[in-house]
């Protein structure tokens, strides 16, 4: 049976988990983007509508993450029909919540369903990466968890390098996103291009500790590893408003560790229960309010499902 229209959902994601720059990411419960895709007779791909972006995302198909991912997919399967894409952005842009990855994943997920699901969700990774690369380069630490859900080790950008990691019981996150967009390109340009051997040893040791802690379900060790980043967070602190105060506020509320979500400025506080996560989110928000900065705060769990099809007709 041929379908003419598909709608999908893709969750927010948080890359890095502190010390795991470009190699670790997780999917968040709750927030996400939706896309509706429909074939059209004209051969081109058009961005027919975008809601929720305040008019900020490019509508030109060659500059939009969703249409670039769709182009890669359609070219690969030799499909000549064009496509209409409608996006409903639930995720704030340039916030460290994987908005560009969600645009790519949600579109490709819907498109795969529309043509009868020729690919497994893992096999959709390369098409999504084509779109993601447009705004932040070839790294899969948002795209992979967005597709697959869970906490993911991204040991490379090919499908066989993606390793799902265990999600410890009681893993809760408090989130706060100040109204202070940080373009990923800017946050990457600020990073050091050379590390000393001592820094390399420290950083790789912390990543290994983090993966071990996830396997043992040890949230205290996980927190220590997450906050062991001595390379990326120090460089990006100047782009992340009130990081020190927000971290202190979350910890006073009982949080175990605080890290910058992806390129920021979202802050994520690791907590071991929902009530602490709620308090930590409220306390971090209070810090931004003191500086008259608007912010959105919430608490959530890791999404274990990843992108999903909502409707096919």
Residues labelled catalytic:
132, 184
- Taking CB under 6 A as the criterion, which residues in 182-241 touch ligand HSE? 184, 187-188
Contact 104, 142 (CB under 8 A): no
Residue 67 found at the interface with ligand HSE (CB under 6 A): no
Which member of 10, 11, 12, 16 binds ligand HSE (CB under 6 A)? 16
Nearest to 72 by CA among 126, 132, 147: 126
Angle in degrees, 0-180, between the axes of helices 219-226 and 197-216, rounded to the nearest 10: 160
Which member of 6, 9, 13, 22 binds ligand HSE (CB under 6 A)? 22
Task: Show the site string, 240-269: x = touches ligand HSE by CB under 6 A, - = not.
Answer: ----------------------xx------
CB of residue 141 to ligand HSE, shortest distance in Å: 5
Question: Cα–Cα distance between 106 and 32 in angstroms, integer?
Answer: 9
Cis preceding linkage at 265, omega within 30: yes
Question: Cα–Cα distance between 23 and 180 in angstroms, integer?
Answer: 25
Q: Which stretch binds ligand HSE (CB under 6 A): 15-23, 70-78, 86-94, 175-183?
A: 15-23
Q: Which stretch binds ligand HSE (CB under 6 A): 42-50, 77-85, 136-144, 295-303?
A: 136-144
Q: Which residue has the tokens 């983007």?
A: 33
CB of residue 21 to ligand HSE, shortest distance in Å: 6
CB of residue 101 to ligand HSE, shortest distance in Å: 7
Which member of 8, 15, 148, 287 binds ligand HSE (CB under 6 A)? 15
CB of residue 96 to ligand HSE, shortest distance in Å: 7
* Residue closest to ligand HSE (Cβ): 15
Q: Which residues pair with 38 in a beta bridge?
A: 5, 84
- Strands of the sheet containing 295-301, edge to edge, are 257-260, 267-271, 172-178, 295-301
Residues 6 or more apart in contact with residue 168 via CB below 8 angstroms? 214, 217, 218, 219, 222
Residues that bind ligand HSE (CB under 6 A): 15-16, 21-22, 136, 139, 141-142, 184, 187-188, 262-263
């Amino acid at each position: 049976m041929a379908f003419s229209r598909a709608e999908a959902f893709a969750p927010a994601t948080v890359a890095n988990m502190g010390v795991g720059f470009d190699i670790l990411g997780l999917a968040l419960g709750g927030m996400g983007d939706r896309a509706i895709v429909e074939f059209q007779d004209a051969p081109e791909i058009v961005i027919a509508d975008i809601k929720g972006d305040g008019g900020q995302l490019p509508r030109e198909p060659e500059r939009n993450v969703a249409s670039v991912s769709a182009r890669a997919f359609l070219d690969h399967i030799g499909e000549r029909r064009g496509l209409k894409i409608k996006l409903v952005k639930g995720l704030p842009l340039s916030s460290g919540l994987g908005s560009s990855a969600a645009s790519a994943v949600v579109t490709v997920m819907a498109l795969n369903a529309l043509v009868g699901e020729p690919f497994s969700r893992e096999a959709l990774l390369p098409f999504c990466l084509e779109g993601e690369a447009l705004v932040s380069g070839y790294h899969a630490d948002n795209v992979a968890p967005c597709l697959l859900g869970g906490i993911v080790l991204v040991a490379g950008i090919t499908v066989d390098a993606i390793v799902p990691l265990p999600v410890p019981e009681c893993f809760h996150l408090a989130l706060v996103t100040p109204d202070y967009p940080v373009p990923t390109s800017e946050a990457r340009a600020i990073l050091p291009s050379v590390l000393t051997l001592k820094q390399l040893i420290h950083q790789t040791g912390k990543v290994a500790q983090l993966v071990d802690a996830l396997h043992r379900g040890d949230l205290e060790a996980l927190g220590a590893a997450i906050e062991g980043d001595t390379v990326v967070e120090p460089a990006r602190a100047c782009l992340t408003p009130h990081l020190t105060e927000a971290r202190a506020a979350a910890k006073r509320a009982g949080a175990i560790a605080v890290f910058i979500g992806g390129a920021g400025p979202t802050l994520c506080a690791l907590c071991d229960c929902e009530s602490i996560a709620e308090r930590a989110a409220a306390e971090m928000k209070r810090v931004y309010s003191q500086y008259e900065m608007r912010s959105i705060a919430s608490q959530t769990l890791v999404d274990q499902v990843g992108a999903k099809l909502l409707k096919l007709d």
